[in-house]
Chains A and B, each alone.
Chain A
């Protein structure tokens, strides 16, 4: 069964304290791995798509990387506005379905 596991479940950082979020997956024929950000009371907001091992994408203080078994979301010098729940999801080739992890709640204290 396809599975996506995110760790840690929750993370508290001080402003400026860099860290990484992990998303491990077990799926054959990965078609794409997606990172989303979700703010309270809102729907998930798309951040990145990664398609193949070795690929990296960056946006402001966020950088996503992909290996054959996991993806990392690196947060460099985070700010309080980076506080949110970060979701990871994968899709398998030939499938319409997107399988989500349970998410990781990030809190950045000023």
Chain B
């Protein structure tokens, strides 16, 4: 009954370091999404993958890359972390466009 699993849960980086946030879903969903959540800004879409093998930019893609590894897994990479990327990152998935997205519990990322 895992749903959407994100790793790690917490991470502290130095400016310029790189890292990959991992996301896996076990619900056989077609679409997967990466969001960031900042105080006063709400949830903003970074990248999404409508199906295995495709990825598209969302509202705030600069500084990020993604990989849809297979139907279950969708990773988010920060190549050169900046303090402005300090945020809580959420992964979500859903079956089709008119169905709700289901979210993981987030990765809390601090960049010093």
- Contact-residue bracket for chain B: 20 to 34
Does the CB pair B101–A98 fall under 8 Å?
A: yes
Does the CB pair B100–A43 fall under 8 Å?
A: no
List B7-56 residues whose CB lies under 8 Å from chain A: 31, 33, 40-45, 48, 50, 56
Residues of B within 8 A of A87 (CB): 42-43
Q: How far is the CA of A5 from the CA of B92 in the complex (A)?
A: 22
Q: How far is the CA of A98 from the CA of B96 in the complex (A)?
A: 12
Q: How far is the CA of A32 from the CA of B94 in the complex (A)?
A: 13
Q: Which of B61-69, B79-87, B102-110 contacts A (4 or more CB under 8 A)?
A: B102-110
Does the CB pair B103–A97 fall under 8 Å?
A: no
Choose one: B40, B41, B48, B90; the contact of A97 (CB below 8 Å): B48
The answer to the question of A42 belonging to the interface, with a C-beta cut-off of 8 Å to chain B, is: yes
Choose one: B33, B92, B97, B104; the contact of A95 (CB below 8 Å): B97
CB distance from B14 to the nearest CB of A (A): 24
CB distance from B8 to the nearest CB of A (A): 14
Does the CB pair A97–B58 fall under 8 Å?
A: yes
- 13 A-B pairs with CB atoms under 8 Å apart are A31-B97, A42-B106, A44-B90, A44-B103, A46-B100, A49-B98, A91-B98, A94-B97, A96-B31, A97-B45, A98-B101, A100-B44, A102-B41
**When A and B form their complex, which 10 residue pairs have the shortest distance between CB atoms, in order from nearest?**
A43-B103, A102-B42, A100-B43, A46-B100, A43-B105, A44-B103, A100-B42, A96-B50, A32-B98, A34-B100
